[in-house]
């Protein structure tokens, strides 16, 4: 089982805390997401990956899309490091998607596409509709959406419609950890009830072949065992192969890991 979104501070303590959180979970590999570009932080994450005895299988590093010279140098250096499995664009900040949809950014995204690695995109709750032109501009690039749900947005019929529209694009994947954003509750039953509609919408839009398990640890305020049990409940009606796709093989395919 692969957790396709955890975050580490870069210290050995954070790796130890992650190992404690994963105890008895069945998760054997994780992918570390680095939200902002910092060369020293990236080196720290790669060092932890080497020391983790295979637990940290890959690192997704932030990409300076608006600085193509810097990005080109970064991608060239990353070719020598097989633990860099993807790049990240954070569109959830104050600049939003419109700021990141200019010619320079388009060129930067093209460089990532040429690298053969996917682009993870962080979105705030109200940005699902706005991301569609960006997705359509890059149909040959695998894109993983990490979408913060916000309170009660999954009950919004318009959001559900837009999610289905996004799901029509076969190069777009959806990571499940965003479902927990804004959810309240302490038990697996409470969290399952709170996320059921959102999960059903995501499953209908993307199918089990384009959903990825992730925890957003440690940002997720839901305890790791509770979140894992919640996802187990949400996927219980799926076939064994479909559950394996969500928990393992989709991440292996899109991030090119084994």
142 or 192: which leads in pLDDT:
142
What is the extent of the structural domain holding 23?
2-254
E strands present in the chain: 2-6, 29-33, 56-62, 84-90, 119-123, 143-147, 172-175, 211-212
pLDDT at 60: 95
Structural domains in the chain (count):
1
Q: How would you class 233 by CB atoms within 10 Å of its CB: exposed for 0-12, middle for 13-18, buried for 19 or more? A: middle
* Mean pLDDT, residues 135-155 taken together: 80
Using one digit for the tens of pLDDT, what is the confidence trace for 1-39? 999 999 888 777 888 999 999 998 999 999 999 887 777
* Mean pLDDT, residues 233-252 taken together: 97
pLDDT at 8: 87
Q: Looking at the predicted structure, is the pLDDT value of residue 156 above 80?
A: no
DSSP state of 65: T
Q: Which region among 51-65, 144-158, 229-243 has the lowest average model confidence (pLDDT)?
A: 144-158
Map 88-102 to HEC letters. Answer: EEECCCCCHHHHCCC
Q: Looking at the predicted structure, is the pLDDT value of residue 226 above 70?
A: yes
pLDDT at 194: 82
Under a CB-based contact definition with an 8 Å cutoff, are residues 166 and 172 in contact? yes
Q: Looking at the predicted structure, is the pLDDT value of residue 90 above 60?
A: yes
Residues 6+ apart with CB under 8 A from 62: 34, 35, 36, 37, 38, 87, 88, 89, 90
**Distance set, CA 134 to CA 69, 175, 178, 243 (Å):** 21, 18, 20, 30
Q: Looking at the predicted structure, is the pLDDT value of residue 155 above 70?
A: no
Q: For residue 233, what is the domain's CATH number?
A: 3.20.20.140
pTM reported for the whole predicted model: 0.91
Q: What is the dihedral of CA 183, 17, 8, 56, to 10 degrees?
A: -110
């Amino acid at each position: 089982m692969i957790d396709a979104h955890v975050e580490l501070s870069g210290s050995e303590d954070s790796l130890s805390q992650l190992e404690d959180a994963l105890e008895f979970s069945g998760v054997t590999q994780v992918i570390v997401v680095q939200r902002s570009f910092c060369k020293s932080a990236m080196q720290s994450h790669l060092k932890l990956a080497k020391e983790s005895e295979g637990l940290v299988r890959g690192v997704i590093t932030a990409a300076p899309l608006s600085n193509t010279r810097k990005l080109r140098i970064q991608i060239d250096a990353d070719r020598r490091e097989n633990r860099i499995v993807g790049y990240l664009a954070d569109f959830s900040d104050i600049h939003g998607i419109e700021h990141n949809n200019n010619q320079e950014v388009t060129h930067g995204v093209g460089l990532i596409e040429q690298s053969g690695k996917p682009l993870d995109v962080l979105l705030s709750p109200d940005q699902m509709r706005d991301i569609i032109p960006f997705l359509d501009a890059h149909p040959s690039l695998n894109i993983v959406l990490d979408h913060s749900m916000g309170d009660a947005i999954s009950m919004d019929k318009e959001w559900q419609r837009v999610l289905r529209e996004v799901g029509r694009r076969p190069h777009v994947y959806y990571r499940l950890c965003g479902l927990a954003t804004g959810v309240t509750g302490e038990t697996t039953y409470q969290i399952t009830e709170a996320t059921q509609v959102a999960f059903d919408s995501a499953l209908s839009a993307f199918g089990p072949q384009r959903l990825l398990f992730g925890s957003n640890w440690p940002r997720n305020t839901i305890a790791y065992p509770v979140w894992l049990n919640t996802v187990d409940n949400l996927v219980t009606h799926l076939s064994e192969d479909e559950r394996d796709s969500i928990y393992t093989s989709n991440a292996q395919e899109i991030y090119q890991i084994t």
